[in-house]
Amino acid sequence: MNFPAFRSARRCAAAALTACVASFALVACGGGDDDTPAYTTTVSFGDSLSDVGTYRTATVAQLGGGKYTVNGGGPIWVERVAADRGLAAPCAAQVGLVSSGPLAAFAQTPTTQPSCNGYAQGGARVTNPVGPGNAALLALGDSSGALGQLTVPVTTQMDRWLAANGGRFNGRELVLVLAGGNDLFINLGSIGASPGQITAQQAVANMGVAGGELATLVRTKLLANGAKFVVVVNLPDVSLTPFALGLDAPSQGLINTMSTTFNTQLAAGLNGVADVLYVDAYTRGRDQAARASFYGFTNVATPACNLAALQPSTSLICTTSTLIPGDTSRYAYADGVHPTPYSHQLLADYVLARMSEVGWR
């Protein structure tokens, strides 16, 4: 996800005793004998919620940034899941930015890192290559494109992994998938009465299409090519983010509908599919917001980062040195839409608990 401006798309939203079963989908029992790990590496696809450093260019690194959270405050969820299962920390498969204008200093020619399996990228959508922060938005009058994010869509991320690995999974990769937020932001910002804009109903329908597309990608590009351990995390409720809470009630309701529509089609497309563990971050996130203190949160509505002091005002360059005054260690959000390290910890814990429930050691 990337912090968007509303109404401008272009600107920026245990194992069971007798069998291994998931509460949502049939999944495969994994692990072999008790001394053999089920998997040997972690592969991640998605957006900024799983991005381990695509945009950590030299200048961004000099500022202490590189991930969409409070940098230096702790790992993000994919890193925590990998560490818990004794796997090497994932690294970004591609690094670079095509920044320009006032952000030209952030630019770095994009390069691939063949040994890395972190394919998720900030701004990435499910199939559309132009997400928030992409340089192509400059031609549409959207200055956020100056950041020049690569926003390689999930479908291409998967193609690139397959091309780099002989077109097949060996069945021992732990594959993590989470996307949809940037499709929401782009569609939300495209709503309007001007020519070329869309209605709210079309925005909702587009989210359903994107959710169905992601399910299809999981089936045809991951499972059909040998993946055996695929964790698919659904879209959290974007209407509960600080970004959405700053909007009016009808807008919040629309964002919630867009989130649920995406998730409904994603779930339908994966229902009953073997080797997939569907993790309901949407429902868990709503419970966290409703019972914040139970989960240890001290604030679920205010960004922890001092965004007014950051240019661009995003958690990509937020660090433990650029936070608002006070103890923000248990805040839910780093910026308008991105989780803090503590929120990432809770997501990782939930994913790991679900994995353990179905026997994925």
Which residues are CB-neighbours of 142 under 8 A, at least 6 positions away? 8, 10, 11
- Please give the angle made by the CA atoms of 168, 130 and 1, to the nearest 5 degrees: 80
Tell me: the pLDDT tens digits for 320-360?
999 999 999 999 999 999 999 999 999 999 999 999 999 99
How far is 66 from 226, CA to CA, in rounded Å? 32
Q: Which of 267, 272, 277, 288 is nearest to 332 (CA)?
A: 288
Q: What is the mean pLDDT of residues 242-269?
A: 98
Q: What is 9-357's CATH topology? A: Rossmann fold (3.40.50)
Question: Poorest-confidence range of 5-14, 101-110, 162-171, 193-202?
Answer: 5-14
How far is 111 from 30, CA to CA, in rounded Å? 35
Q: From the CB of residue 138, how many other CB atoms can be counted at a distance below 10 Å?
A: 16
How far is 188 from 139, CA to CA, in rounded Å? 19
How far is 161 from 112, CA to CA, in rounded Å? 11
How far is 118 from 240, CA to CA, in rounded Å? 27
The H or E element containing residue 161 is helix 154-164
Tell me: the pLDDT tens digits for 256-289?
999 999 999 999 999 999 999 999 999 999 999 9
The H or E element containing residue 174 is strand 173-178
pTM: 0.91
Q: From the CB of residue 72, how many other CB atoms can be counted at a distance below 10 Å?
A: 15
> What was the pLDDT predicted at 34?
52
CB 60 within 8 A of CB 317: yes
Q: Which of 141, 148, 173 is nearest to 158 (CA)?
A: 173
How far is 131 from 126, CA to CA, in rounded Å? 10
